[in-house]
């Protein structure tokens, strides 16, 4: 089935009799792209599933207030982005651990996951990405993998385009340096 | 244009520029077929946004409630003793009979007032001339004995 446009989905959602049907279509339409973003942020499948569920539950609660100023996907992506950051923050707070310990946990989770099928170079890239601070990692993933425009990223993160450009530039330089260092070991 | 800009950003980064952009994170088989049903099941219990939701989610009403309670408590304890809890109407204000049902009365105060042994006449301070007093006595048809006893 072809994807519905934002306005078609919203029209269906605003009718009481088709509200659940519309939301089901919305989940089907955006789940994979959001899952991929979340999974790159939290690495573990079960945690990614929980964050994705919370994202859609929040979307269900707030979709009446969505005023179509931005694209529906950007709005959902924004919720997912905030949910990821909150999840990682809670993880650090709950475990009383440092950023390094969380990075270690994410790396272990990736290494032991049966749902990771990257080769050695992809593994090295993911490990380097995990060394970035959470917000910078989100920026890097959006730009590098999803090739998102800075303007859209700005809507999602609530950060200026200039700040995002420099954040991405710094992140890319760091990753390049870390991978190069790892390869020369 | 966007793609060109993206390539430009990676031109000084040979390692990253050559990396494959494949997604190595896989979801379990059938996950995306079942996930929408799981979400549907969860949102049945999730409340939709109501126009009153801000009352429970915003900090403003919470702070307002706490302030109201604090001000109410201060006002309650600062109020002159004896007037607390007594229903009263302003002079000239009409109290409708059904409103009396909802009013609280201080029964002790009412009984204390009724048990007062001072004659009620003493509490009325009327400045009447002699002629007015005579007219009043004639009009009310009061007995002379009662008047003498009262005075």
ipTM: 0.84
| Structure tokens that stand for A182 in this block | 């790892």
| Structure tokens that stand for A6 in this block | 């934002």
Digitized pLDDT (tens) for each residue of chain B, 151 residues in all: 555 666 677 777 888 888 878 888 889 999 999 999 999 988 876 555 555 555 555 667 778 888 889 888 888 877 766 555 444 555 555 656 566 556 666 677 766 666 655 554 455 555 677 777 777 767 766 666 776 766 6
Question: How does DSSP assign A22-87, residue by residue?
Answer: HHHHHHHHHHHHHHHHHHHHH--HHHHHHHHHHHHHHHHHHGGG--SSS-HHHHHHHHHHHHHHHH
CA dihedral A91, A97, A103, A104 (to 10 degrees): -120
| Structure tokens that stand for B23 in this block | 């997604």
Q: pLDDT class for A103, splitting at 50, 70, 90?
A: confident
The residue among B5, B21, B37, B43 with the most chain A CBs within 10 A of its CB, best to mutate, is B43
Report the predicted TM-score, pTM, of the whole model to 2 decimal places. 0.65
Residue that wins the pLDDT comparison between A152 and A117: A152
Comparing alpha-carbon positions, the chain A residue that sits nearest to B20 is A122
Asked if A165 contacts A154 with a C-beta cutoff of 8 angstroms, the reply is: no
Residue that wins the pLDDT comparison between B123 and A179: A179
Taking Cα atoms as reference points, which of A167, A157, A163 lies closest to residue A37?
A157
CB-CB under 8 Å, A20 with B24: no
- Residue B31 Cα, gap to closest chain A Cα (Å): 9
Give, for B133, the enclosing helix (H) or strand (E).
helix B130-140
CB-CB under 8 Å, B19 with A116: no
CA–CA distances in Å: residue A123 to residues A62, A84, A109: 37, 21, 12
Return d(Cα A76, Cα A9) in angstroms, integer: 14
CB-CB under 8 Å, A175 with B16: yes
Residue B113: per-residue pLDDT: 64
Residue B117: per-residue pLDDT: 54
CB-CB under 8 Å, B35 with A60: no
What tens digit of pLDDT does each residue of A11-60 get?
Answer: 899 888 899 999 999 999 999 999 999 999 999 999 999 999 999 999 99
CB atoms within 10 A of CB B80: 6
Taking Cα atoms as reference points, which of A3, A75, A91 lies closest to residue A34?
A75
CB-CB under 8 Å, B22 with A118: yes
């Amino acid at each position: 089935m072809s994807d519905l446009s934002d306005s078609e989905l919203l029209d269906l959602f605003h009718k009481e009799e088709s509200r659940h049907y519309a939301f089901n279509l919305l989940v089907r339409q955006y789940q994979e792209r959001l899952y991929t973003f979340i999974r790159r942020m939290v690495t573990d499948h079960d945690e990614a599933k929980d964050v994705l569920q919370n994202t859609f539950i929040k979307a269900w609660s707030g979709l009446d207030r969505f005023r179509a100023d931005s694209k529906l996907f950007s709005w959902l992506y924004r919720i997912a982005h905030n949910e990821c950051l909150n999840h990682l923050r809670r993880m650090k707070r709950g475990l009383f651990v440092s950023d390094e310990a969380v990075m270690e946990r994410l790396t272990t989770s990736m290494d032991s996951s049966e749902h990771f099928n990257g080769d050695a170079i992809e593994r090295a890239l993911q490990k380097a990405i995990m060394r970035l601070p959470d917000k910078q990692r989100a920026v890097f993933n959006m730009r590098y993998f999803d090739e998102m425009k800075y303007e859209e990223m700005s809507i999602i993160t609530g950060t200026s385009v200039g700040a995002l450009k420099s954040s991405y530039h710094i992140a890319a330089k760091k990753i390049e340096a870390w991978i190069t260092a790892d390869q020369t070991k | 244009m966007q793609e060109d800009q993206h390539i430009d950003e990676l031109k000084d980064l040979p390692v990253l520029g050559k990396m494959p952009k494949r997604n190595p994170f896989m979801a379990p088989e059938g996950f995306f077929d079942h996930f929408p049903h799981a979400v549907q099941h969860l949102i049945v219990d999730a409340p939709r946004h109501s126009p009153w939701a801000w009352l429970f989610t915003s900090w403003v009403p919470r702070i307002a409630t706490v302030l109201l309670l604090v001000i109410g408590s201060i006002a309650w304890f600062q109020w002159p003793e004896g007037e607390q809890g007594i229903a009263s109407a302003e002079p000239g204000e009409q109290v409708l009979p059904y409103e009396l049902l909802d009013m609280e009365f201080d029964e002790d105060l009412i009984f204390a007032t009724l048990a007062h042994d001072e004659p009620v006449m003493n509490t009325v301070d009327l400045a009447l001339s002699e002629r007015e007093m005579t007219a009043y006595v004639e009009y009310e048809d009061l007995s002379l004995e009662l008047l003498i006893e009262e005075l």
